[in-house]
Amino acid sequence: MEANLLTQFFLPLALFIIMLGMGLSLKFSDFRNVILFPRAVGVGLVLNLLFIPTLTFGILYIIPLQAELAVGFVLLAACPGGATTNLITHLAKGDVALSITLTAVASVITVFTIPILVNLGMLQFMGEGQMIELPFFKTIVQILVITILPVFIGMLFHKKLPRLSLKAEKPVKIISALFLVLIIAAVLIKERANLGEFFIKAGPLSLALNLLGMLSGYYITKAITQNKAQSLAVGIEVGIVNGTLGIAIAAGILENSVMTIPAAIYSIIMFPAAMLLVYLGNKKTKIHNN
């Protein structure tokens, strides 16, 4: 597959379908849930939008990486959780309504924060002479078109045609999962010559961000809310980001294949760690019920 076809057509289309699938499971009332879970939503958003990006910058200061990989990690940390977090929260017996609310609200906010964080990362790790300009308003429009617009269409479809929406949700999710696998495979194949080196460099940091995000989200929320289901939801939402969006921005907007590597590797590594929370959530529930 030619690079231009992948980055300019296939990637945006794939992300559009993935975000459409997320919209099919959302209701407009989900945004009102911010009022119902103020502390949990507040903690989740602060951790997602401030703590994880700050932690990423801090780790990259301590463990220097190739400049483009470092920017790729900043981009990854700037992306919100995707539809996957809602499914994993359900499997872990977490608060699905809270998870959906965090996904919806963070997806809107990060449309504006992603360009700021990525430009800051490029300035810090690439320098003014090498940095790739990421136009603020143009990037916002592009992210809106491939993320917020399909989510809104999915939500509107869910509201107007709920039965058809319910029938379409499963096939769209299957297609979304297939697209995700194909996207990650395409990225890894494109960089196959340096894949071993990239895994050694980016793998440990991907795992660290994944685990630190989930653990901090879970235990900080637990300390504040004393609610296990909400803690699981926030832990999963903070620890699992939208790698597909990171790949789409790196490949389609920044046109840099190396910057896609952190998101691709993270998308592979995050699932085993997420399954640990699923196991713990179910184990604790069974013990409590007994």
Domains, in order of start, for the chain: 3-282 (1.20.1530.20)
Predicted pLDDT at 27:
76
Q: Cβ-count burial of 249 within 10 angstroms (0-12 exposed, 13-18 middle, 19+ buried)?
A: buried
Residue 202 has pLDDT above 90, yes or no: no
* Measured distance CA(257)–CA(187) in Å, rounded: 7
Predicted pLDDT at 188:
74
Predicted pLDDT at 1:
43
Neighbours of 164 (CB within 10 A): 12
The answer to whether the CB of 117 falls within 8 A of the CB of 78 is yes
| Start-to-end Cα distance in the chain | 54
- Stretch 21-47: mean pLDDT: 81
Residue 3 has pLDDT above 70, yes or no: no
* Measured distance CA(114)–CA(79) in Å, rounded: 7
Provide, rounded to the nearest whole percent, the portion of the chain with pLDDT above 90.
Answer: 19
Average pLDDT, rounded, for the chain? 82
Which is more confidently placed, 252 or 125?
Answer: 125
Predicted pLDDT at 217:
92
Residue 289's pLDDT band (cuts 50, 70, 90): very low
Tell me if residue 13 falls in helix, strand or coil.
helix
pLDDT tens-digit map of 43-77: 999 999 999 999 999 999 888 888 999 999 999 99
Considering only 51-65, 92-106, 226-240, which range has the smallest mean pLDDT? 92-106
Predicted pLDDT at 288:
47
Helix crossing, 228-239 with 83-91: angle to 10°? 140
pLDDT tens-digit map of 124-179: 888 765 666 677 788 888 888 888 888 888 888 888 888 887 788 778 777 777 77
pTM for this predicted structure = 0.82
Tell me if residue 2 falls in helix, strand or coil.
coil
Predicted pLDDT at 290:
44
